[in-house]
């Protein structure tokens, strides 16, 4: 099938800078789709028009159902950079689409600020939780974020101050590339009652306070980063566990017996596209997971509060599974192993003799590798220092062929 769906990125300068092929795609369409701001750029010539619905996917499905008609979507900037183009390229073969990008807000902002985009974190907060910004906050980081509304800069300033980054510099770039373009540079602590228009991009030069411990996205956050009741995979064990799980971009993890959620949270922090499902039935620990996922910037962590293995039956198939608790539950291991995708990784930790026995049995059946991990930390006893041992952990690792 030839291209029937065109997606045209438009800048603040409107139709003037569009290449002829993009203009031709607009002219040939029998249905025009976009926001009011874009559709008003076109003369009302009687052709069918639709504006985005809420939820957006209702109109996406309608467009796909009209496959073969000449349809043109008007978008902002580069449709493939956090834009509507991504939504359609996930659902249609590329030969059915023609995509015409304009410079993205990130490119325009980098040009205004003289930033190196290859060394800049680019993200969107449009329709997404503000907490997604948290994993990117490190001293010296440059961040560009697409705003959700004119109030987003104020919300970001508040979040930065709460996390010890009040000394950062914020630049708000409104309506870049158009006649109404405005650039405002602000010290976060002096944000005050400034107001901005809805169409804006926020640039951050992050500066942390002297007492702020920046948290890496590499495995092994300090234990103190989490709220917990002791049911926590310790930092050194957690680092080894996540290394064994091998988080890859876009992968889904089942964190079974999640405790305070530390493994699933660190899995998601490692790559922005990663997903995780935390399975935990203990009421208080569920509250810890909810608090930790917001505190550490992974609001998209899914929580399942029913007991495994029954709660696992209808979950999407995982790319990796961590069993941190509940090994003795009948059928748990088999359910996880059956659901795991080919090439997927399964890691299970045990601290009891009974749990270790189960891992020995599974190793005999399925192969894989067993590792025993002992850690001790040096702690003060009065004016002396001694080693404090932690519970020995038996770790089982396997890959599904």
Residue 234 belongs to domain with CATH number = 3.40.50.150
Domain around 194: 106-205
Considering the domain architecture, whether residues 82 and 134 belong to the same structural domain is answered as: no
- Residue 211, SS3? coil
Render pLDDT for 236-274 as a digit per residue (tens, 0 to 9).
Answer: 999 999 999 999 999 999 999 999 999 999 999 999 999
User: What's the confidence (pLDDT) of residue 214?
Assistant: 85
Give the tokens for residue 291: 């608090």
Considering the domain architecture, whether residues 236 and 358 belong to the same structural domain is answered as: yes
Write down the mean pLDDT value for the chain. Answer: 95
Residue 1 has pLDDT above 80, yes or no: no
In a domain, 246, yes or no: yes
Residues 6+ apart with CB under 8 A from 295: 134, 227
The sheet carrying 121-124 orders its strands as 121-124, 142-146, 200-205, 169-174, 182-187
Render pLDDT for 120-173 as a digit per residue (tens, 0 to 9).
Answer: 999 999 999 999 999 999 999 999 999 999 999 999 999 999 999 999 999 999
In a domain, 213, yes or no: no
User: What's the confidence (pLDDT) of residue 2?
Assistant: 86
| H or E element that contains 85 | helix 84-89
Considering the domain architecture, whether residues 249 and 329 belong to the same structural domain is answered as: yes
In a domain, 214, yes or no: no
Reported confidence tier of residue 17, pLDDT bands at 50, 70, 90 = confident
Q: How many domains does the chain have?
A: 3
User: What's the confidence (pLDDT) of residue 13?
Assistant: 87
| Rounded Cα distance, 352 and 368, in Å | 20
Considering the domain architecture, whether residues 314 and 382 belong to the same structural domain is answered as: yes
- What's the first-to-final CA gap in the chain, in angstroms? 37
User: What's the confidence (pLDDT) of residue 3?
Assistant: 94
| Rounded Cα distance, 78 and 84, in Å | 9
Reported confidence tier of residue 64, pLDDT bands at 50, 70, 90 = very high
User: What's the confidence (pLDDT) of residue 213?
Assistant: 87
In a domain, 127, yes or no: yes
Tell me whether strands 169-174 and 182-187 are parallel, antiparallel or unpaired.
antiparallel
Residue 396 has pLDDT above 90, yes or no: yes
In a domain, 42, yes or no: yes
Looking at the whole model, is its pTM more than 0.85?
yes
User: What's the confidence (pLDDT) of residue 198?
Assistant: 94
| Rounded Cα distance, 398 and 381, in Å | 40
Out of 102, 130, 158, a domain closes at 102
């Amino acid at each position: 099938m030839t291209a029937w769906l065109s997606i045209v990125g438009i800048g603040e300068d409107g139709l003037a800078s569009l290449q002829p092929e993009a203009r031709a795609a607009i002219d040939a369409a029998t249905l025009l789709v976009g926001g009011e701001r874009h559709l008003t750029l076109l003369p009302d010539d009687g052709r069918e028009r639709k504006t985005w619905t809420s939820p957006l996917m209702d109109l996406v499905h309608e467009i796909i159902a009209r496959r073969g008609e000449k349809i043109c979507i008007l978008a902002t900037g580069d449709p493939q950079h956090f834009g509507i183009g991504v939504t359609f390229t996930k659902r249609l073969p590329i030969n059915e689409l023609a995509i015409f990008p304009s410079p993205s807000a990130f490119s325009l902002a980098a040009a205004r600020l003289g930033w190196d985009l290859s060394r800049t974190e680019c993200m969107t907060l449009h329709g997404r939780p503000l907490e997604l910004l948290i994993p990117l906050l490190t001293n010296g980081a440059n961040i560009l974020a697409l705003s959700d509304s004119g109030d987003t800069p104020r919300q970001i300033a508040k979040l930065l101050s709460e996390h010890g980054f009040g000394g950062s510099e914020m630049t708000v770039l409104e309506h870049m590339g158009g006649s109404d373009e405005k650039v405002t540079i602000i010290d976060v602590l002096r944000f005050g009652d400034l107001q901005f228009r809805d169409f804006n991009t926020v640039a951050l030069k992050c500066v942390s306070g002297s007492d702020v411990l920046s948290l890496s996205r590499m495995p092994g956050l300090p234990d103190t980063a989490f709220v917990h009741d002791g049911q926590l995979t310790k930092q050194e064990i957690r680092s080894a566990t996540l290394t064994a799980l091998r988080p890859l971009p876009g992968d889904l993890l089942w964190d079974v017996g999640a405790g305070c959620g530390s493994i699933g949270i660190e899995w998601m922090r490692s790559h922005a596209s990663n997903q995780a499902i935390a399975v935990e039935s203990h009421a208080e620990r569920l509250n810890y997971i909810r608090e930790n996922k917001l505190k550490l910037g992974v609001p998209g962590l899914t929580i399942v509060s029913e007991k495994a293995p029954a709660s696992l039956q209808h979950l999407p198939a995982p790319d990796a599974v961590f069993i941190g608790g509940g090994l003795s539950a009948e059928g748990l291991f088999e359910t996880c192993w059956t659901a795991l995708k080919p090439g997927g990784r399964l890691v299970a930790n045990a601290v009891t003799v009974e749990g270790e026995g189960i891992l020995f049995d599974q190793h005999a059946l399925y192969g894989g590798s067993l590792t025993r991990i002992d850690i001790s930390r040096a702690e003060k006893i009065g004016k002396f220092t001694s080693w404090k041992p932690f519970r020995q952990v038996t770790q089982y690792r396997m890959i599904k062929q």
